[in-house]
Amino acid sequence: MLATIKKHSDCHVVTYKRPLPHSIDTVWKAITTNENLQKWMSNLEIIDLRQHGKIHFNMNDGTDTYEEIA
């Protein structure tokens, strides 16, 4: 899988392109619902899925510490 990285004035944007043998609806549900997300990325918890929403990246180290991804 290759990625492109573009630098903006205040951040970097990384884009991955990976063809998947599943329908768009199936993939979308896998990455946008906490129940399905936990199956492949247990560190992530979706708090607010809207644009400029929030996702928590849990450290899973027993401290309940997380980084907020906005």
Cβ atoms 4, 14 nearer than 8 A: yes
pLDDT at res. 10: 87
pLDDT at res. 21: 95
Read off the pLDDT of residues 11-70 as tens digits, 9 standing for 90 and up: 888 898 888 899 999 999 988 888 888 888 888 888 888 888 898 988 888 888 888 887
